[in-house]
Chain A
Amino acid sequence: MSESSKQELLDRIATSVIAGIDDLMGIGDVLNLLDELESCEISPREVELVTKLRNIFKKLVLEESQDPRGDWELIHELIRTLCDNAVGESVVLDGNEEIGSKEKVSVEPPAIVETEVTQKDEQEGSESQVLMSVEDPELFRDFLDEAREHLSSIELNIISLEEDPGNREVINAVFRPFHSIKGVAGFLNLRDIHEISHEVENLLDGARSGSFPVTEGVIDIVLQAIDILKEQLSSLENELPKGKIVTQGSIRVKNFLKHVRSFDPTRAILPIEIPKIGEILAEKGIVEEEKIEEIVEEAVREGKKIGEKLIEKGLAAPKDVALALREQKHLKESVTSIRVDTQKLDNLVDMIGELVIAQSMVLQNPEVQKIREQKFQKDIVQLRRITGELQRISTSLRMVPIKATFQKMIRLIRDLSRKSGKEVVLQMSGEDTEIDRNMVDQIYEPLVHMIRNAVDHGIESPEERLKLGKPPYGTIFLSAEQKGGNIVIYIRDDGRGLDAEKIRKKAVERGLIQPDDKFEEGALFELIFHPGFSTKDEVTDVSGRGVGMDVVKRTVEDLRGKIEIKSRRGEGTLFELKLPLTMAIIDGMIIKVGSERYVVPTISLRESLRPLRKDYQTVQGRGEMINVRGKLMPLIRLHNLFQLEPLHYNPWEALLLVVSEDGRDYCLLADEIIGRQEVVIKSLGSALKHIVGISGGAILGDGRIALILDVKGIVTAFERGMK
């Protein structure tokens, strides 16, 4: 730009009229001129002046000035310096004189300053006031309607956002309603609603300006905010007729705000791409497959998104759709995959098991062991490494994260808590724990049942909980972890816990136990696994129908797993599901009875010991017992069961395996422990399926066959023999 136009600009700035600090239009003029000036070639000194001027103007406009009068004068001084310097003159004008030279000056600076200050005071003083009187319920009703409309528009848009997180337009469409709700809530003095929308607005504003991408976390927060806002709106609606409304103080809101404020949106940045979603929702059991087909047709016809359509029709909650989209996204991300028939997979795993065994057989062959050649030894190490790796991979082939199963529980809990009128929160951990694909489907039903039980029988009503000094909402903790060769799933609730006395009474009523039977608390708890046992008299909608805990237990045992209960009155109940890592291999202890070898699944094993002679005793009516640290346990002679000639008849010479069934401990008498090994389970074939005390066969490392003990079967047979 030429020097003359710069001069022209400076002249215009010098002669511009700002009637006072309220004259925003005048200030705007000067600001625009300063912008223009900056695009000319100006000296560093001039740049400094322009920047200074701009900052002071900004301060005045935003009413942030500490000293409006001083700043006002400073502006004139700066303008003068700027313009005079440029023309090379040094005429210093008196501040008043300069203002006086303008065509129309309405107010003198000092006067403006004073009105400005008083106005500020008044504003500050009135900040806590409610603008509209609460006596105008119409206004609130309008707000309710409109806010709800806005929320449903957010719900629709958030789905699009999940599909296309970078879309500014969509972010804006989600942002705006929050902004509007916040604005009005501010006027109506609805503090909680105002705060929620304010925080979400801030968050989305960051996303809108591109400071961080829209991540799952952000979307979760928005969805949560919608939930809470809806809740707030309905309680507002309920309170309106009473003339008094609660505007602040919800605990849920407080927690939410805490969460949002500590949320770091720059973390967990994920790329997102999404195709269709119907299948996932159908698989999760949220929408029926037929319904989805209908919806897909409709959606295609109307050119809408399937998720959108589902929400519109009320077939799926926005949260579910969002979750499904997310799951699908993960599937898409997780490298390309091919579908393989599980039968083929099972065969592969089986054959690899055989390979490992065959390898051991070769290597343990005495002729082979004689070979001392170094190259041969090296090759063996290499072979072992490869088969070991193969085995590891083959095991992992069948493993899937338990996440999907856990996530289905979220919806279950929500439905249950709605139906039962109890507030229940689900906390999960260890969702990434991997579990055998075949098992994952089978534990679904038991999990559902246990969670139902927890909500129905465990968690107290909100009133009851408050009386007990507990938070009004119950919590169910669902977690999974890998512990040794097992997967352990914990289902814990903070409800009322099991009532041992009530269970005893019921068990007596049902004829399961005798009134004078002595039971420890743990053994009493085990009774709930008995077929036909129910502690609750009435059948509720939530549970108490169909399968009982006995089915849960049977399912777990079919999976070669174990289930245990721990419970404390008033504090809650914990179910511990111990499952083998995979169905194809078990972690076993190899024992010897006489000349035979057996495999005892380590999952059933408590400990092994050799008792002292004095710990062995015979109890009238109960047979042989072993005193293990003061606790009497029945002795089960395995050699009797399998009709073998043992090495030792006396327990103090032999070895005892302590096992636990139905809350009771037993000692199995064996001759010795050979070692611990992972063995590949082999079916015995239909002819040998139902042998008491045997659950299957395994080929051991040295090529010999061993039978796997069915501890539960052994104990049951023993108890039957005692009666």
Chain B
Amino acid sequence: MPSYKDMTVLVVDDFATMRRIIRNILRDLEFKKILEAEDGTAAVDILKTQKVDLIISDWNMPKMTGLELLKWVRANEDTKDIPFLMVTAEAQKENVIEAVKAKVSNYIVKPFTAQTLAEKLEKIVPKD
């Protein structure tokens, strides 16, 4: 297991319950520093001021979507290498290619199990 303890993870979702669900899983995976943003623009604000090691973002959000956030992250020198896990709905799976082209690290389809999330994270977070 990579050492998640020292990593700062940013969870972006407009639905607080969803953020809470993800946060609970992340806690179980021993993440300690978990930041939350309720949409893309709020996430950008955080990314501008803080060092983040991992982004888990919902796709469908008001103001700035997950895809737009991803594009911003990849276009920005300070953030372009941050692993980015896109959370998407089954119905929107077809759009995943768009995210792949925008260089998403990986994606996960809702609803997912804690184990699936852990596996996805293992794939995208560089080990120590």
Q: Which residues of A contact B (CB under 8 A)?
A: 22, 24-25, 27-29, 31-32, 35, 57-58, 61-62, 119, 122-123, 126, 129, 131-132, 139, 142-143, 146, 172-173, 176, 179-184, 186-187, 198, 201-202, 205
Contact = CB atoms under 8 A, between A and B. Distances in A.
A139 B19 CA distance: 11
Given A126-B115, A131-B113, A180 B18 contact: yes
Contact of A28 (B15, B101, B123): B101
B93 interface: yes
Contacts of A58: 97
A24 B106 contact: yes
B44 interface: no
B16 A142 contact: yes
A61 B119 CA distance: 16
Contact of B100 (A24, A143, A182): A24
B102 A179 contact: no
B105 A146 contact: no
Interface in B56-111: 58, 60-62, 89, 91, 93-94, 96-97, 100-107, 110-111
B113 A126 contact: yes
B51 interface: no
Given A29-B103, A143-B17, A184-B15, 12 more contacts: A25-B103, A27-B100, A61-B96, A131-B112, A132-B24, A142-B17, A176-B60, A179-B60, A179-B89, A183-B89, A201-B91, A202-B91
Instruction: Identify the 8 closest CB pairs spanning chains A and B, nearest first.
Output: A186-B111, A180-B15, A28-B100, A143-B17, A187-B111, A184-B17, A126-B113, A28-B103
Contacts of B115: 122, 126
Contacts of A131: 21, 111-114
A174 to B, nearest CB: 12
B101 A139 contact: no
Interface residues of B, number: 35
B5 interface: no
A146 B101 contact: no
B116 interface: yes
Contact of B107 (A24, A32, A57, A126): A24
27 contacts: A24-B104, A28-B100, A28-B101, A28-B104, A31-B100, A57-B100, A61-B97, A62-B93, A62-B96, A122-B115, A122-B116, A126-B116, A131-B111, A131-B114, A132-B21, A139-B21, A142-B17, A142-B20, A172-B62, A173-B62, A181-B15, A183-B18, A184-B15, A186-B110, A187-B110, A198-B91, A205-B91
Contacts of A180: 14-15, 18, 60
Contacts of A139: 17, 20-21
Contacts of B96: 61-62
B17 A146 contact: yes
B119 to A, nearest CB: 6
Nearest to B88: A183
B99 to A, nearest CB: 8
A180 B19 CA distance: 11
A179 B14 CA distance: 11
Contacts of A62: 93-94, 96-97
Contacts of B103: 25, 28-29
Majority-rule SS of A interface residues: helix
A180 B105 CA distance: 23
A184 B100 contact: no
A143 B20 CA distance: 10
Contacts of A32: 101
Contact of B113 (A24, A129, A181, A182): A129
Given A24-B107, A132-B21, A186-B111, A61 B91 contact: no
A147 to B, nearest CB: 8
**Most chain A CB atoms below 10 A, which of B91, B96, B100, B107:** B100
A394 to B, nearest CB: 57
Contacts of A202: 91
A678 to B, nearest CB: 61
Contacts of A57: 97, 100
A522 to B, nearest CB: 58
Residue in A131, A139, A143, A172 with the greatest tally of chain B CB atoms within 10 Å: A131
A61 B93 CA distance: 10
Contacts of A27: 100
A122 B120 CA distance: 13
B110 to A, nearest CB: 5
Contact of A176 (B24, B61, B94): B61
A31 B21 contact: no
Contacts of B102: 28
A87 B94 CA distance: 34
Contacts of B116: 122-123, 126
A195 to B, nearest CB: 13
A236 to B, nearest CB: 13
Nearest to A22: B123
Given A22-B106, A28-B100, A28-B101, A184 B91 contact: no
Most chain B CB within a 10 A radius of its CB, from A61, A172, A183:
A183
A187 B18 contact: yes
A172 B8 CA distance: 32
Given A61-B96, A126-B113, A201-B91, A183 B104 contact: no
A25 B110 contact: no
A331 B61 CA distance: 38
With most chain B CB atoms within 10 A of its CB, the pick from A142, A181, A184 is: A184
